[in-house]
Structure formats: structure tokens, C-alpha cells
Amino acid sequence: MRVVIKIGSSSLTHEETGRMDLYKMEHLVRALCDLRNRGMDVCLVSSGAIAVGKGAIGLEERPTEVATKQACAAVGQAKLMMIYQKLFSEYNRVAGQILMTKNLVSNPDSRTNVTNAFEELFRLGVVPIVNENDTVSTYEMQYLMQFGDNDTLSAIVAALIHADLLILLSDIDGLYTDDPHKNPDAKLIRDVEKLDDTILGMAKESTGSNVGTGGMTTKLTAAKIATYSGADMIIANGKDIQVIYDIFDGQFVGTRFHANKKEDFKLADFIRESIN
């Protein structure tokens, strides 16, 4: 089995300070290593570079200027990987870094090269850690059709590596009939067999955190990419990393989108249409 797990900035940082939650990161890495011990290929798509860089540089608020975001990402990505490398080494595992941009995915040669890199990392027993290349990817920073706190990016990775399952660890339990932050009567949808107009109409731009950027719209875009490529996708609350074990034990609380592979679905075309 091949699994992609995405964790957002809000799930990796302390709500009060925006600083890295090292306790949670340690438990995340332990869970990923445990999945590897079960014989699974595991890939982590991790946000957090800008958040980490912001704290290291000493900024109180999330930057709004593109150049400042680039600077934070340059500092933060190095520190983030240093933490991950140290934690994985504690469990005798090796992590590798892959930084991606949307242009890389839309180019056939680049897409083949990055897919080959993933396959070789898996063959060697390395856990790939993926992030958007925020230092150079100014397009995604400025325009609406961004990777969206890595929701869309993780689905693209799942499609590229032919994953069986994509798990989005978020600050919300799953897909609701309405925004649960605003409507106490909103109901959690546990299973989505097919992405129809009713489901897609439930997209919300809002997110419950001022650290991350991804709302329900990007998660439903991710669901399209993942399920049309043949993978199941789960949205679960990343507040407690134990939810990863609950997912594989069939006890999680969240939303499962069932795979609905479409032979005519072309990832590159989908990305190009998204940009345009």
C-alpha cells in the first residue's frame, strides 16, 4: 500500500504562539515510521516553512508581502527539514526533501523526472517529505488558484505516485453540510461515494486558522484529483496524531472520499486549466 499524508501549518504549530509543536511533530514521525514498519510506502506533504521561518526571523504576524514570504520560506524550510531529519533518525529512518511547483507538474519531462525520483526514494526505503517551493514559487503565493496550504499539492503527489490513499490532516473533522464554525447545526458527512454538484457546492473558502491558507475549496479540488486518479481520500482532524492509527483501524472520525478512477482524467490538463 502507498499512502500520502498531508499535514498543514495549523496542525504543526501552537495556536497561541505560531511556533512549532515539537511534541506533535515527534508523534507524527513515529506514526509514519510505524506505517513503514507495516510495509507501506509513505510520503509526507508538510506545510510549515513560512510559519517556521517567521518565528526564526522574529516576525509576530504572518507576512503579506511576497518577498517577505520568500525569505521566511528560505529560512523555515531548512529548519523544518533539520527537525524532520533528526526525528526520523531517532527511529532509524531516512527522510528526503522534494520541493515542487505547479510548472514542474505541468511539464511532461519534469513530471516524469519527479515521478522517477519518488520511485527511487521508495525503492531505497526513504520517506519523501514534500513541500511547495515557496522561495521561488511566487505565482502560487499571489493568485487564487494556489496549491492551498498543500491540499492540492498532496493530491497531485498522490496522482503522480499512484497512491492508494491520501490523508489530509486538517483543523476540521471533515466535510460538513455547512461551515461548522458558523453553523452549529452543520452535519459531518462520513462517506462520499461520488463528487456530484451537491458535494462540490459545499466548498468554503474559510479556514479556522490564521496560520494556514487552505479551506474546503482546496480540499474538494484535492478530492477531485485524488479520486479521479484512483486513490481514496480522507479528511481528518490533525489535532491528535492518534487519528492516523484510527484511520487504519477503521475507527476515525472524518470524511472518506471513495476512489472513482476516470480513464480520461489528465492531471497536466487539470493543472493547466486551474492556472488559466
Give pLDDT tens digits for 147-171.
556 898 999 999 999 999 999 998 8
Amino acid at 60: E
Q: pTM of the predicted model, to two decimals?
A: 0.89
Mean per-residue pLDDT over the chain, rounded: 86
Question: pLDDT tens-digit profile of 96-134?
Answer: 999 987 677 778 888 899 999 999 999 999 999 998 875
The pLDDT value recorded for residue 260 is: 92
How far apart are alpha carbons 160 and 13 in whole angstroms? 29
- Please say if the pLDDT value at position 141 is more than 50: no
The pLDDT value recorded for residue 138 is: 52
Shortest CA distance to 189 belongs to which of 261, 126, 237, 253?
Answer: 253
The pLDDT value recorded for residue 267 is: 80
How far apart are alpha carbons 252 and 265 in whole angstroms? 30
- Please say if the pLDDT value at position 173 is more than 50: yes
23 confidence band (pLDDT: 50, 70, 90): very high
How far apart are alpha carbons 139 and 154 in whole angstroms? 18
The pLDDT value recorded for residue 233 is: 97
What mean pLDDT is predicted for residues 220-235? 94
Q: How many CA atoms are closer than 13 Å to the CA of 143, on its beta-carbon side?
A: 10
- Please say if the pLDDT value at position 205 is more than 50: yes
Question: pLDDT tens-digit profile of 67-83?
Answer: 898 898 899 899 999 99
Q: Which domains does the chain have, with CATH numbers?
A: 2-275 (3.40.1160.10)
